[in-house]
Structures are given as C-alpha cells and as structure tokens.
Amino acid sequence: MFCNQCGKQVEAGAKFCSNCGATVSSVEAQRSMPTDAGEPLVVLCPRFIGWVTMLSLLPLQLFLTVWAAGFFGGFSMFAIKWLGLSLPPWSTFVFFGCLFFFGIPLLVYFGKKKTYAQTEYRFFKDRLEYVEGFWTAENKTIRYDKITETSMRRGIIQKKYGLGTIFLATPATGFQQGRSISGIRIKDVEEPERMYEQVQSLIGK
C-alpha cells in the first residue's frame, strides 16, 4: 500500500504513514498504487564529479583532522608511555592526523560515487519510481497527483558542467523563506533544462 499524502509505501494494515504521519485508509492506499506497469518514459541518473566532492569536503576534513590528532593522539601518547614503548611523543598525533586527513576523503568519495552509480529516477505515465543510496538503499514510488510543485536550480559548479538539480515537492515537504528544504531532489542531472521540461510535461505542474 502507498500513503495517500506523500506516496511512500506503507505496511498492509497500517493506520498512519511512517514518513509523514498522515492517516492511511485501505481504500485511499489502494487508489495510490501504481497502475501502469509499462516502460518508463524518462529515466534520470545523477552524474558524479569527483573533485567537486573532495572540494566540498575540505572544511570538514581539516576540522576532523585537527580534532582527531589532538583527541586520539593525546590518548595514544599516554598509552605509549604506560606501555613503555620507545616512540617519539609526536608520532601519535601525526598518525591520527594523517589517518583522518586521507581516510575521510577516500571514504566519502567511494560512498558518494557508489551512491550516484546506484541512483535512478524512472518517470512512468502516472508515477515516479526511484531508488537511491548505497550505504542505505531506499526505494520509493509516488504518484504525480501527490507532487505539489516542481522547480529546477543550477549552482555555479553545476553550470560549468552542464548539470542541474530538479526539486519535486509533496504535501510533506517543508519550506523555508519560500523555498523547499525537503522533498525529492534529483541532483546533478545532465541537460537540466530539457529534462525539466520533460518532467513538467509528465507531472503537469
């Protein structure tokens, strides 16, 4: 069954949606189920740009490097003294600093690349089905009549690479200063203007 407000799948017999909290009746839920089992009319996949990921991570990377060197390096220094090991006192600080400085970017880079590779948005005649995530995969289906607003934004770096982000708002979407802060974000789409027009023609918003 599917929620009649946000379109998220709910367990059979559930009275409330676990995503938006709306009341779900069996009749409303059945009406929200997909009816067209044909091939998708539009398929969107995000494009991964490695150096953008690394650049956006730099402030957090530097902060965690300093924090890890001081925190873990300090505790390890006392452990070395307690064990009577003949190591320079600064070695633990350097070790944990390097570990976090190089380890965090590699972990984030690998995770985001895999996430983008496994993310796909499939637009059918009456609904959107999408799967996204790598560490935690998520599958959702939402009918077009549950989408209240569509918009498209392009950042400076996205413009350089011909990318954009398409936003789809639902009744459960939050807004701040007139802009959606939640909802469905289809990030880093190639040919964003053309794709946005196709999405709008299907959804009719």
Confidence band of 166 (pLDDT split at 50, 70, 90): very high
E strands present in 55-145: 120-123, 127-132, 138-143
What is the chain's Cα-based Rg? 23
**Residue range 121-203 in CATH 2.60.40:** no
Least confident of 1-15, 35-49, 97-111: 1-15
Q: Tens digits of per-residue pLDDT, 191-202?
A: 999 999 999 888
> Quick one: which of 162, 164, 170 has its CA closest to 187?
164
DSSP codes, 24-66: --HHHHHHTS----S--SEEE-PPP-HHHHHHHHHHHHHHHHH
State yes or no: pLDDT of 143 exceeds 70: yes
- The rounded mean pLDDT for the chain is 80
Q: Torsion-angle region of residue 2: left (phi > 0), alpha (psi -120 to 50) or beta?
A: beta
Could you tell me what percentage of the chain is helix, strand and coil, using 3-state DSSP and rounding each to the nearest 5?
40, 20, 35
**Domain boundaries along the sequence of the chain:** 1-33, 50-116, 121-203
- CA-to-CA distance for 132 and 167, rounded, in angstroms? 15
3-class SS of residue 89: coil
Find the farthest-apart pair of alpha carbons in the chain and give their distance in angstroms, rounded.
73
pLDDT at position 57 is: 84
pLDDT at position 146 is: 86
Q: With pLDDT > 90 as the criterion, what percentage of the chain qualifies?
A: 21
Residues 6+ apart with CB under 8 A from 150: 166, 167, 168, 169, 196, 199, 200, 203, 205
